[in-house]
Chains A and B, each alone.
Chain A
């Protein structure tokens, strides 16, 4: 499987998210992928990712959320990252706000890679040192370097 750091899109790394609620955060991150032509049908992508958010919480606890969707509207498996300084309510099971949001966009046919990416990212983000370093990152390059270092 491709490395997480290789899936990250540098232009889709936001160190201070403007949006203050879940749907806004998803739209803000997804727009960066749309701007780079990585998502061919924004409406279909939003519908898929919001349907999932309505069925479950992608806030996995410890201040982390991983909104994700696998749809025909996506060209290749990519990751966007957003950091919220204030925290965003993702209806996490631990009832705590999310500060680090990794958005996964995957093509319909890449099911196994998509599952593997979710699993690897979830494991990776449970490490406290990763979350601490992400909180300190000053640039998009640093964020990607942290992912590369720990994955």
Chain B
């Protein structure tokens, strides 16, 4: 079963569901979670819905968006701690798909978990991912 799971985190409600499922999976498999938030590069705003839900105008390095991302990551860490789940936090900047694929390679991860309402926008990543991609609706 999975031992090292990459959890893609953002502000969408589906992402919160993915966090719950990732922690459940980790408890079941004694897996370690790598929770990653990928910020867009400076000048490339996040999708409008993400910005509106986060209550921020931009998510770019050095901005309030970075602090917001860390806050969410540490909330997840606290949740994991309460459940005795091993977790590492990663804040990356750049193209989402490229960064997630690079993390999978760097840390030899064996699954990627994403919260999303639909597969739209994730097709290329799924096609290129060398590991299982678990979509949580």
Residues of A within 8 A of B (CB): 51-52, 55-57, 60, 70, 93, 111, 115-116, 118-120, 122-123, 126-127
Main SS at interface, chain A:
helix
The reply to whether A93 and B107 form a contact with Cβ atoms under 8 Å apart is yes
The contact size tier of chain B is 20 to 34
Main SS at interface, chain B:
helix
Interface residue? B89 (CB, 8 A): yes
The reply to whether B81 and A119 form a contact with Cβ atoms under 8 Å apart is no
The reply to whether A93 and B85 form a contact with Cβ atoms under 8 Å apart is no
> Which B48-91 residues sit within 8 Å CB-CB of chain A?
62, 66-68, 70-71, 73-75, 77-78, 80-81, 84-91
The reply to whether A55 and B80 form a contact with Cβ atoms under 8 Å apart is yes
Chain A residues lying within 8 Å of B107, measured Cβ to Cβ, are 93
Chain A residues lying within 8 Å of B73, measured Cβ to Cβ, are 119
The reply to whether A119 and B71 form a contact with Cβ atoms under 8 Å apart is yes
Chain B residues lying within 8 Å of A123, measured Cβ to Cβ, are 62, 66-67, 70
The reply to whether B87 and A122 form a contact with Cβ atoms under 8 Å apart is no
Chain A residues lying within 8 Å of B74, measured Cβ to Cβ, are 115, 118-119, 122
The reply to whether B67 and A115 form a contact with Cβ atoms under 8 Å apart is no
Chain A residues lying within 8 Å of B68, measured Cβ to Cβ, are 119
Q: Which residue of B62, B70, B87, B90 is within 8 Å of A55 (Cβ)? A: B87
Chain A residues lying within 8 Å of B87, measured Cβ to Cβ, are 55-56
Q: How far is the CA of A116 from the CA of B68 in the complex (A)?
A: 9
For the complex of A and B, list the 6 residue pairs with the smallest distance between their C-beta atoms, beginning with the closest. Answer: A119-B70, A119-B71, A118-B74, A122-B70, A123-B67, A115-B74
Chain A residues lying within 8 Å of B90, measured Cβ to Cβ, are 93
Q: A93-B107, A111-B78, A115-B75 are in contact. Are A56 and B88 (CB under 8 A)?
A: yes
